[in-house]
A and B are shown apart, each in its own frame.
Chain A
Amino acid sequence: SYVLTQPPSVSVAPGQTAVLTCGAGNIRTKSVHWYQQKPGQAPVLIIYYDTNRSLGVPERFSASKSENTATLTISRVEDGDEADYYCQVWEQDSDHFWLFGGGTKLTVL
Protein backbone atom coordinates (compact mmCIF):
# COMPACT_ATOMS: atom_id res chain seq x y z
CA SER A 1 0.00 0.00 0.00
CA TYR A 2 1.02 3.58 -0.55
CA VAL A 3 2.94 5.11 2.34
CA LEU A 4 4.08 8.67 2.96
CA THR A 5 7.33 8.68 4.93
CA GLN A 6 8.26 11.68 7.04
CA PRO A 7 11.21 11.92 9.45
CA PRO A 8 9.84 11.92 13.03
CA SER A 9 11.77 15.01 14.03
CA VAL A 10 13.77 17.92 12.70
CA SER A 11 15.60 20.44 14.86
CA VAL A 12 16.84 23.82 13.76
CA ALA A 13 18.10 26.99 15.40
CA PRO A 14 16.15 30.22 15.08
CA GLY A 15 16.95 32.05 11.88
CA GLN A 16 18.08 28.92 10.12
CA THR A 17 16.30 26.94 7.41
CA ALA A 18 14.24 23.84 8.15
CA VAL A 19 13.76 21.24 5.43
CA LEU A 20 10.96 18.73 5.99
CA THR A 21 10.56 15.84 3.59
CA CYS A 22 7.71 13.56 2.59
CA GLY A 23 8.79 10.54 0.62
CA ALA A 24 6.73 8.16 -1.48
CA GLY A 25 7.00 6.36 -4.78
CA ASN A 26 6.15 8.53 -7.74
CA ILE A 27 4.78 11.33 -5.54
CA ARG A 28 5.45 13.57 -8.49
CA THR A 29 2.13 12.41 -9.97
CA LYS A 30 0.10 13.35 -6.89
CA SER A 31 -1.08 16.62 -5.39
CA VAL A 32 0.55 17.14 -2.00
CA HIS A 33 -0.90 19.20 0.81
CA TRP A 34 0.86 20.25 4.02
CA TYR A 35 -0.69 20.86 7.43
CA GLN A 36 0.75 22.50 10.51
CA GLN A 37 -0.42 21.45 13.97
CA LYS A 38 0.74 23.39 16.99
CA PRO A 39 0.52 21.78 20.45
CA GLY A 40 -3.04 21.48 21.68
CA GLN A 41 -4.49 22.89 18.46
CA ALA A 42 -6.24 21.58 15.38
CA PRO A 43 -4.31 21.11 12.14
CA VAL A 44 -4.18 24.03 9.73
CA LEU A 45 -3.70 23.75 5.97
CA ILE A 46 -0.58 25.76 5.09
CA ILE A 47 0.37 24.51 1.60
CA TYR A 48 -2.04 23.11 -0.98
CA TYR A 49 -1.54 21.61 -4.41
CA ASP A 50 2.18 21.17 -3.94
CA THR A 51 3.32 24.78 -3.74
CA ASN A 52 0.46 27.17 -2.92
CA ARG A 53 0.49 28.97 0.43
CA SER A 54 -2.79 29.35 2.27
CA LEU A 55 -3.96 32.86 3.07
CA GLY A 56 -1.92 34.36 5.87
CA VAL A 57 0.95 31.88 5.65
CA PRO A 58 4.27 33.74 5.55
CA GLU A 59 6.41 33.62 2.45
CA ARG A 60 9.04 31.93 4.60
CA PHE A 61 7.07 28.74 3.99
CA SER A 62 7.61 27.18 0.59
CA ALA A 63 7.22 23.73 -0.89
CA SER A 64 8.42 21.72 -3.85
CA LYS A 65 8.27 18.23 -5.24
CA SER A 66 10.55 15.87 -7.11
CA GLU A 67 10.06 12.33 -8.42
CA ASN A 68 9.74 10.64 -5.04
CA THR A 69 9.94 13.43 -2.48
CA ALA A 70 7.82 16.41 -1.51
CA THR A 71 9.62 19.05 0.52
CA LEU A 72 8.44 21.78 2.86
CA THR A 73 11.05 24.46 3.46
CA ILE A 74 10.78 26.98 6.25
CA SER A 75 13.24 29.84 5.97
CA ARG A 76 14.34 32.06 8.85
CA VAL A 77 12.70 29.76 11.36
CA GLU A 78 10.99 31.40 14.32
CA ASP A 79 10.02 30.03 17.71
CA GLY A 80 6.39 30.12 16.61
CA ASP A 81 7.08 27.63 13.83
CA GLU A 82 7.57 24.85 16.36
CA ALA A 83 4.83 22.36 15.49
CA ASP A 84 4.04 19.04 13.88
CA TYR A 85 3.89 19.08 10.09
CA TYR A 86 1.96 16.53 8.03
CA CYS A 87 1.97 15.88 4.33
CA GLN A 88 -1.15 14.45 2.70
CA VAL A 89 -2.19 13.03 -0.66
CA TRP A 90 -5.27 11.38 -2.15
CA GLU A 91 -4.69 7.70 -2.79
CA GLN A 92 -7.74 5.92 -4.09
CA ASP A 93 -6.09 2.51 -3.87
CA SER A 94 -5.16 2.96 -0.24
CA ASP A 95 -7.12 1.87 2.81
CA HIS A 96 -7.30 5.59 3.67
CA PHE A 97 -8.28 7.75 0.70
CA TRP A 98 -6.98 10.90 2.29
CA LEU A 99 -3.56 9.60 3.25
CA PHE A 100 -1.36 11.40 5.78
CA GLY A 101 2.30 11.00 6.47
CA GLY A 102 3.34 10.16 10.00
CA GLY A 103 4.25 13.76 10.69
CA THR A 104 7.46 15.58 11.54
CA LYS A 105 7.94 17.42 14.80
CA LEU A 106 9.87 20.61 14.17
CA THR A 107 11.81 21.71 17.22
CA VAL A 108 13.28 25.21 17.32
CA LEU A 109 16.41 25.02 19.42
Chain B
Amino acid sequence: EVQLVESGGGVVQSGGSLRLSCAASGFIFTKYDMSWVRQSPGKGLEWVSAITGRGDRTFYADPVRGRFTIFRDNSRNTVDLQLNTLRVEDTAVYYCAKGAGIGSYPLDSWGQGTLVTVSS
Protein backbone atom coordinates (compact mmCIF):
# COMPACT_ATOMS: atom_id res chain seq x y z
CA GLU B 1 0.00 0.00 0.00
CA VAL B 2 1.35 3.42 -0.96
CA GLN B 3 1.88 5.69 2.01
CA LEU B 4 3.00 9.31 1.94
CA VAL B 5 3.48 11.07 5.26
CA GLU B 6 4.28 14.77 5.36
CA SER B 7 5.89 16.60 8.24
CA GLY B 8 7.56 19.89 9.03
CA GLY B 9 4.65 22.29 8.87
CA GLY B 10 4.17 25.03 11.43
CA VAL B 11 3.86 28.74 12.04
CA VAL B 12 6.54 31.03 10.69
CA GLN B 13 6.85 34.76 10.24
CA SER B 14 6.81 36.41 6.86
CA GLY B 15 10.29 36.26 5.36
CA GLY B 16 11.15 33.13 7.29
CA SER B 17 11.98 29.59 6.19
CA LEU B 18 10.63 26.11 6.70
CA ARG B 19 11.52 22.66 5.42
CA LEU B 20 8.81 20.15 4.69
CA SER B 21 9.48 16.45 4.37
CA CYS B 22 7.52 13.57 2.87
CA ALA B 23 8.30 9.97 3.78
CA ALA B 24 7.23 7.45 1.16
CA SER B 25 6.64 3.72 1.39
CA GLY B 26 4.83 0.94 -0.42
CA PHE B 27 6.32 1.49 -3.88
CA ILE B 28 9.69 1.62 -5.63
CA PHE B 29 10.49 5.21 -4.80
CA THR B 30 13.19 5.80 -7.41
CA LYS B 31 10.83 4.93 -10.25
CA TYR B 32 8.39 7.73 -9.57
CA ASP B 33 8.37 11.47 -9.86
CA MET B 34 7.08 13.33 -6.84
CA SER B 35 5.19 16.58 -6.51
CA TRP B 36 4.11 19.05 -3.87
CA VAL B 37 0.64 20.55 -4.17
CA ARG B 38 -0.77 23.17 -1.82
CA GLN B 39 -4.22 24.32 -0.82
CA SER B 40 -4.79 27.68 0.81
CA PRO B 41 -7.60 27.81 3.39
CA GLY B 42 -10.94 27.50 1.64
CA LYS B 43 -9.31 27.53 -1.80
CA GLY B 44 -8.50 25.09 -4.56
CA LEU B 45 -5.49 22.96 -5.36
CA GLU B 46 -2.29 24.55 -6.64
CA TRP B 47 0.66 22.53 -7.91
CA VAL B 48 3.92 23.87 -6.49
CA SER B 49 6.90 21.73 -7.47
CA ALA B 50 7.99 18.38 -8.84
CA ILE B 51 11.15 16.29 -9.07
CA THR B 52 11.98 13.35 -11.30
CA GLY B 53 12.62 9.88 -9.93
CA ARG B 54 16.38 10.22 -10.24
CA GLY B 55 16.31 13.76 -8.91
CA ASP B 56 17.99 15.15 -12.00
CA ARG B 57 15.20 17.51 -13.03
CA THR B 58 13.09 19.86 -10.97
CA PHE B 59 10.03 21.94 -11.81
CA TYR B 60 8.46 24.91 -10.07
CA ALA B 61 5.31 26.97 -10.36
CA ASP B 62 5.98 30.63 -11.12
CA PRO B 63 4.79 31.94 -7.72
CA VAL B 64 7.43 29.92 -5.86
CA ARG B 65 10.32 29.72 -8.32
CA GLY B 66 13.47 31.10 -6.73
CA ARG B 67 12.06 30.79 -3.20
CA PHE B 68 11.26 27.09 -2.88
CA THR B 69 13.61 24.17 -3.58
CA ILE B 70 12.65 20.52 -3.93
CA PHE B 71 15.02 17.71 -2.99
CA ARG B 72 14.82 13.96 -2.75
CA ASP B 73 16.88 11.34 -0.96
CA ASN B 74 16.36 8.02 -2.70
CA SER B 75 18.33 6.19 0.00
CA ARG B 76 15.78 7.26 2.59
CA ASN B 77 12.67 7.44 0.37
CA THR B 78 12.03 11.05 1.20
CA VAL B 79 11.22 14.17 -0.76
CA ASP B 80 11.66 17.56 0.87
CA LEU B 81 10.53 21.05 0.05
CA GLN B 82 12.61 23.94 1.35
CA LEU B 83 10.48 27.07 1.68
CA ASN B 84 12.41 30.35 1.87
CA THR B 85 11.36 33.99 1.92
CA LEU B 86 7.88 32.94 2.92
CA ARG B 87 4.91 35.20 2.30
CA VAL B 88 1.49 35.35 3.92
CA GLU B 89 0.01 34.01 0.68
CA ASP B 90 2.09 30.82 1.06
CA THR B 91 -0.17 29.84 3.95
CA ALA B 92 -1.64 26.50 2.95
CA VAL B 93 -1.82 22.79 3.52
CA TYR B 94 1.03 21.26 1.56
CA TYR B 95 0.44 17.82 0.10
CA CYS B 96 3.04 15.40 -1.17
CA ALA B 97 1.84 13.47 -4.22
CA LYS B 98 3.19 10.60 -6.27
CA GLY B 99 3.18 10.95 -10.02
CA ALA B 100 3.57 8.44 -12.79
CA GLY B 101 5.84 10.74 -14.79
CA ILE B 102 6.54 14.24 -15.99
CA GLY B 103 3.91 15.26 -18.46
CA SER B 104 0.31 14.24 -18.90
CA TYR B 105 0.41 11.85 -15.96
CA PRO B 106 -1.94 11.97 -13.00
CA LEU B 107 -0.98 12.38 -9.36
CA ASP B 108 -2.15 8.99 -8.22
CA SER B 109 -1.46 8.99 -4.49
CA TRP B 110 -1.48 11.81 -1.95
CA GLY B 111 -0.41 12.27 1.63
CA GLN B 112 -2.62 13.82 4.28
CA GLY B 113 -0.82 17.15 4.16
CA THR B 114 1.01 19.44 6.53
CA LEU B 115 -0.14 22.95 7.40
CA VAL B 116 2.11 25.94 6.88
CA THR B 117 0.97 29.22 8.40
CA VAL B 118 2.86 32.38 7.56
CA SER B 119 2.13 35.31 9.84
CA SER B 120 2.71 38.95 8.96
Rounded to whole angstroms, the CA-CA distance of A43 and B96 in the bound complex is: 11
In the complex, which residues of chain B have a beta carbon less than 8 angstroms from the beta carbon of A41? Answer: 112
Q: Count residues on chain A whose CB falls below 8 Å from chain B CBs.
A: 27
In the complex, which residues of chain A have a beta carbon less than 8 angstroms from the beta carbon of B50? Answer: 97-98
In the complex, which residues of chain A have a beta carbon less than 8 angstroms from the beta carbon of B44? Answer: 84, 86, 100-103
- Which among A11-19, A63-71, A72-80, A87-95 touches the partner chain? A87-95
In the complex, which residues of chain B have a beta carbon less than 8 angstroms from the beta carbon of A2? Answer: none
Question: With A42-B113, A43-B95, A98-B47 known to touch, is A89 a contact of B106 (CB < 8 Å)?
Answer: no
CB-based contact B47/A31 at 8 Å: no
A96 contacts chain B at the CB level, 8 A cutoff:
yes
Question: With A42-B111, A101-B44 known to touch, is A31 a contact of B63 (CB < 8 Å)?
Answer: no
CB-based contact B110/A90 at 8 Å: no
Q: Which of B45-104 touch A at CB < 8 Å?
A: 45-47, 50, 59, 61-63, 95, 103-104
In the complex, which residues of chain B have a beta carbon less than 8 angstroms from the beta carbon of A30? Answer: 104
B35 contacts chain A at the CB level, 8 A cutoff:
yes
Could you list which residues of chain A lie within 8 angstroms of chain B, going by C-beta atoms? 30-31, 33, 35, 37, 41-45, 48-49, 54, 84, 86, 88-90, 95-103
Closest A-B pairs by Cβ, 10 of them: A95-B62, A98-B47, A31-B104, A33-B106, A48-B106, A42-B110, A90-B104, A103-B44, A100-B45, A96-B61
Cross-chain pairs A/B with CB under 8 angstroms, 11 sampled = A30-B104, A31-B104, A33-B106, A43-B95, A43-B107, A49-B104, A49-B106, A95-B61, A95-B62, A96-B47, A100-B47
Could you list which residues of chain B lie within 8 angstroms of chain A, going by C-beta atoms? 35, 37, 44-47, 50, 59, 61-63, 95, 103-113
